[in-house]
Amino acid sequence: MSGLSIDKISMRFDLPDGGHVQALKDVSLDLKAGELLSVLGPSGCGKTTLLNIVAGFLAPTEGQIVLNGHKVTGPDAERGMVFQQGALFEWMSVRDNVGFGPSMKGMPAKEKSEIVNHLLDVVGLQDFKEKAVYELSGGMQQRVSLARCLANDPDVILMDEPLGALDALTREKMQSLVLKLWKETGKTIILITHSVEEALLLGERLLVMAPRPGRIHKEYRLPFADLGVGQDLRDVKKHPEFAERREEILGMIWDMEEEIMGRAEEKA
């Protein structure tokens, strides 16, 4: 069976003060190979926890993750991860960062350098390959992160707010790059974001999560990711349905935030 299956995941853990947190409750989802899912939700809705469970960094208390027919028990090269920032190895050059995965596998140098060179071309960093990563701008660093992840040829790419720390202009360029890479490589991607626009632009499917306990609130299937490939994303944003969806989802998240605030006030 090809694809990623998130099967009734629950996550509950104890706190030192005797209480407990229900971070996720009965989250189920099936992703076909090559699908791009974006996940939105107010803070505390468990979206990063969910991603960490899929990556294998956390064990769920109930349920399981099944990828291509086998159960996920820990981190593995089949599930690549792109972090917000600070996950590059600053003691390595751009080239060594991109070639990290192949090196760990013991891939022959020639084969590895072909992969690295190809990916540096794809992300447009061929001229920077000998630089140290800390000499690059934030946007360039995230290009290195993407290339490093792709160099390992994972089945699934997990992105934890990869563009969150970038300025608005760089962010738009990077959104186009993510779409382009998705189309060209046909990878399954799960992207977590805080930006409703980004979730709409990039998500073929969009998941809105609700907090306390973290659960799936609503799911959408959207046309914008397909429309956006190779296009100016600003044109996509002019699409009438885009504005409609954006307002709808913003309202939804706004209500959730209001509810959290209300509960906090009750407690106080």
Partner 1 sequence: MIPLLVYVVIFVVAFYVVRFIADKTAIQDYTSLKTVTFGDESAVRSNRAASVISIVTIFVIWGAFTGSKLLPGFMHAPGPFIGDTSFTYTAEANGQTDDATVYFRVHEAGESVEPIATEPGDGFAKNDTELVAAWRSKLLRVDKNDDIGKDEGAKVIAINGQPVDAGGSVEVDGGVVTLSDKGTPNFSPHAGWQMEPIWLPSPEGVFLRTIEIASAGFQGFTLWEHLGFSLYRVILGFVCGAIIGIPLGYAMGLSDWFRGWFDPIVEFMRPVPPLALIPLVIIWAGIGETGKIILLFLAALWIMAIAARSGVSGVKISKVHAAYSLGASKAQIMRHVIVPNSLPEIFTGARVAMGVCWGTVVAAELVAAEKGAGKMIVAASKFQNTDIVIMGIILIGIIGFGIDVLMRYAEKVLVPWKGKG
Burial (CB count within 10 angstroms: exposed 0-12, middle 13-18, buried 19+), residue 111: exposed
Q: For residues 88 and 177, which CB has a smaller minimum distance to partner 1 in the complex?
A: 88
Q: How far is the CB of 156 from partner 1 (least distance, A)?
A: 10
- DSSP bridge pairs for 132: 93
- CB of 127: closest distance to partner 1 in angstroms? 20
In this structure, the dihedral spanned by the alpha carbons of residues 178, 182, 183 and 187, taken in order and rounded to 10 degrees, is 170
Quote the strand ranges of the chain, DSSP E: 4-14, 20-31, 36-40, 62-67, 70-71, 79-82, 156-160, 188-192, 205-210, 215-221
User: From edge to edge, which strands make up the β-sheet containing 36-40?
Assistant: 79-82, 156-160, 188-192, 36-40, 205-210, 215-221
Shortest CB 148 distance to partner 1, Å = 7
Task: Count CB atoms within 10 A of the CB of residue 119.
Answer: 22
DSSP designation for 191: E
Minimum CB distance to partner 1 smaller for 79 or for 217 = 79
Please, what is the minimum distance in Å from the beta carbon of residue 151 to partner 1? Answer: 8
Nearer to partner 1, 97 or 242 (CB): 97
Altogether, the residues listed in the chain come to a count of 268
Minimum distance from CB of 165 to partner 1 (Å)? 12
Q: Which is nearer to partner 1, 149 or 256 (CB)?
A: 149
CB-nearer residue toward partner 1: 154 or 214: 154
Comparing CB distances to partner 1, the nearer of 119 and 208 is 119
CB atoms within 10 A of CB 159: 26
Report, in Å, the least distance between residue 56 CB and partner 1: 8
Residues that bind partner 1 (CB under 8 A): 55-57, 74-77, 79-81, 83-84, 86-91, 100-101, 104-105, 132, 134, 148-149, 152, 154, 158
